[in-house]
A = this chain, B = another copy of it.
Amino acid sequence: MTGEPEPIADSARPSSGLPAVQAAIEETGAAGFVHVGGRADADLRYLTRVDGPDREMAVVFLPGDADHEPEAVYCVPRDVVGAVSVFEERADPPDIAHRVVSRNPTTATGQQVRAILAERHQATGDDRTLLVPRQLPHDTAVFLQQAGYELQSTAAITTARATKTPVERDCLRTVQAAATAGMARAEAVLATSEPADEGLTLDGRPLTAERLRRRIDAELVSVGVSPAANTRITASTAASAPLPAGEPIRLQVAPRGPHGYHGSLTRTLAVDSEGGWERRGFIAAEAGLQAAVRQLEPGVDVSTVEGEAVAEVGAYGFAVASDDPSTRARATAVVHGVGLSAYEPPASGTESELHSGSVVAVETGVDDPTRGAIRLGTLFELSEEGVETLVEYPYSLSPVDRLDTD
């Protein structure tokens, strides 16, 4: 590492997902919406667009009525520096009121949510159904049920999150660009590594998976994104042993970038490959990826795309059925949504349909029980203009130093 890489450009902040909740309330006539969660809860992030404190907080949405404007209430820990002020500055969406309530550490969040609801509901004979995401904490649910509310799980947020707005796609493009920077660092390190009897070395010291991972992660944070503990390097050797020469090394990065969106990039590299098995697997994986892309269009379901990709990989001489009794390497393909979660709907192995606004990771490859795994993958967006790779990155089995300096 020399100098500081230029950070990636920041993206605009996407707008709040509260309108999806508001629409679900209008549709169902529910009395409100409640969610409680921690910083890692992607639905909460979608509603607030704030990288909140490492603590529990609540969002309560109350629709407008004759006496009230529609209102979002944020119940946040009072002792977290800045947490309250971040929420006090909110005005998104602009047509609803936003209010912050300090969360008291000695009282359960669910009890405090009940008190917020009681301000609005004690005097009225409203419908007492509340919409909640399916992962609402059980204790909050019990507090609300004890107050006479019926809880109805809503998929409104999950559904809304599956269609990325242009601003969200910009966030995804930005973090995916950072992912390619991390991968380019990995390639540069591997291209300058030296094969020895015990495996690869770099600067005279063993190049372990763990050491390579640290180099990739340092690049990711230097360009301004979080590795999100998602950088994985897989080879036939242990994480603390030198990486093997002449064998496939699988690299996966899925950093988290501005506003919480994830990238996803997978490559397989081999230093001093003699061709043969891994070369054939690599070509098959690339063909599988292309076959998948040809299938990516609105109305097609994820399982169909996976099936076509597996068939294409299999055409290169790999097993396609999980019950294939042979010990041949097996073709694989996984397609799933990527956004505020590194893995979100549409889920692999389901009949979830793709649509305009879907952003999916596609990963294809082969698994050999003894020789390891080959995987190639990246992000694709479906829009009015068709299918596009979010950020291009070259495909090569042999590592190439694509950086000016190392």
Contact = CB atoms under 8 A, between A and B. Distances in A.
| Interface hub of A79, A218, A254, A341 (most chain B Cβ within 10 A) | A218
A387 interface: no
20 contacts: A1-B3, A1-B4, A2-B2, A4-B214, A7-B214, A38-B40, A54-B254, A54-B342, A81-B373, A105-B348, A106-B349, A135-B138, A137-B137, A138-B151, A210-B224, A214-B221, A214-B224, A218-B221, A220-B221, A229-B256
Nearest to A142: B153
B54 A230 contact: yes
A116 interface: no
A350 interface: yes
B210 A7 contact: yes
Nearest to A224: B214
Interface string A87-114: 0000000000000000011100000000
A368 B221 CA distance: 32
Smallest CB-CB A-B distances: 9 pairs = A40-B40, A134-B139, A217-B221, A136-B138, A135-B137, A105-B349, A54-B342, A138-B141, A218-B218
* Copy count, this protein chain: 2
Contacts of A138: 132-138, 140-141, 151, 153
A234 B266 CA distance: 36
A227 B214 CA distance: 12
A182 to B, nearest CB: 11
B224 A4 contact: no
A371 interface: no
A4 B334 CA distance: 35
A8 to B, nearest CB: 11
A13 interface: no
Contacts of A105: 347-350
Interface string A324-354: 0000000000100000011100011111000
A309 to B, nearest CB: 14
A370 to B, nearest CB: 15
A55 interface: yes
Contact of A341 (B4, B54, B256): B54
A227 B221 contact: yes
A134 B38 CA distance: 13
A221 B221 contact: yes
A38 B132 CA distance: 18
A358 interface: no
A81 B81 CA distance: 39
A55 B341 CA distance: 9
Contacts of A342: 54
Interface string A223-241: 1101111100010000000
Nearest to A134: B139
Contacts of A234: 81-82
A229 B226 contact: yes
Nearest to A144: B138
A308 interface: no
Given A79-B348, A218-B218, A350-B106, A137 B139 contact: no
A272 interface: no
Nearest to A306: B79
A134 B106 CA distance: 16
Nearest to A373: B81
A222 B218 contact: yes
B222 A214 contact: yes
Contacts of A79: 334, 348-349
Contacts of A137: 134-138
Nearest to A108: B134
A21 to B, nearest CB: 16
